[in-house]
Amino acid sequence: MASGAVTGLKMHVSRDGFAIIPKVIPSTEITGLLSELEISSLTRSRAGFRHAMRHEAVAMIAHDPRLCGLAAESLGSTAIPFRATLFDKSPSSNWLVVWHQDTALPICERREVAGWGPWSVKDGIAYAHAPASALESVVALRVHLDDSNADNGPLRVLAGTHDKGVLEDDAIHSLASEIAPVDCLVSAGGVIAMEPLIVHASSKSRSEEPRRVLHIEYASSFDLPGGLKLAIA
């Protein structure tokens, strides 16, 4: 999509499962955010840290009108941020992610509701694998804090796979052998809007350049079927 163009964003995301929007956050703001993240007290894993909405700077950027506007355009409705994760790939912390869909959502309180589960607990927050009907009202914005290029393990997607529902592993592997992947190459400050059910992966980095991405998820409502409610994570 052209720089600054959000017209038709919902159409692109609905059709392909993702869209790239360049030059959303200026470099000066990216530098400031990185500085704030460097001094974060959140517990880091090898790949970054989860539950980043607990970080004030992350919560602020997640609620920024520029990002909320993109999320609302993608969803075609109100967009409320509820979860954020920092992915931090570098030569000293290198990893790959196999082809998969994002199906687990953070939930305030566990309830046995048809179509939800299995359940797990991460850092004190309950998670349930959600049905496709719930995931269709969620969109993720991946804010790039570094340039993401062909060598530093960019996001790879199988375009159009978001509308196939929640898939078993065998079906995902089959699609990965049939569909040519798209490498999502984005400069720092750019954003990828993506649906949770699009099949995606990333390879190990072959570069000395870091690839840090803030993955923020938005929903049209915190209320879910069966009395379930999204948790802030």
pLDDT at 157: 98
Cβ contact 82:141 at 8 Å: no
Residue 118: inside a domain, yes or no? no
Residue 231 lies in a domain: no
Of the two residues 210 and 129, the one the predictor is more confident about is: 129
Distances (CA, A) of 104 to 116, 121, 148, 187, 196: 9, 11, 25, 28, 9
Give domain status of residue 126, yes or no: no
Q: Which of 162, 174, 165, 182 is nearest to 131 (CA)?
A: 165
C-beta of residue 142 within 8 angstroms of C-beta of residue 62: no
Beta-carbon neighbour count of residue 219 at 10 Å?
A: 23
Q: Does residue 116 lie in a domain region?
A: no
Tokens representing 60?
């602020």
160 within some domain: yes
* In-domain check, residue 152: yes
pLDDT surpasses 60 at 7:
no
Structural domain harbouring 23: 9-98+136-165+183-221
For the chain, the 3-state helix, strand and coil shares in percent, each to the nearest 5, are 25, 30, 45
- The verdict on residue 178 lying in a domain is no
When pLDDT is cut at 50, 70 and 90, the band that residue 186 belongs to is very high
Q: Give the span between the Cα atoms of 9 and 89, in whole angstroms.
A: 28
129 in a structural domain: no
CATH number at residue 13: 2.60.120.620
The band of 47, judged by pLDDT with boundaries at 50, 70 and 90, is confident
Mean pLDDT of 45-57: 88
As a whole-number percent, the residues of the chain with pLDDT over 70 amount to 96
Residue 91 has pLDDT above 90, yes or no: no
Q: Give the confidence band of 41 by pLDDT, cuts at 50, 70, 90.
A: confident
Give how many domains the chain has, as a whole number.
1
Q: Which pLDDT does position 224 carry in this prediction?
A: 97
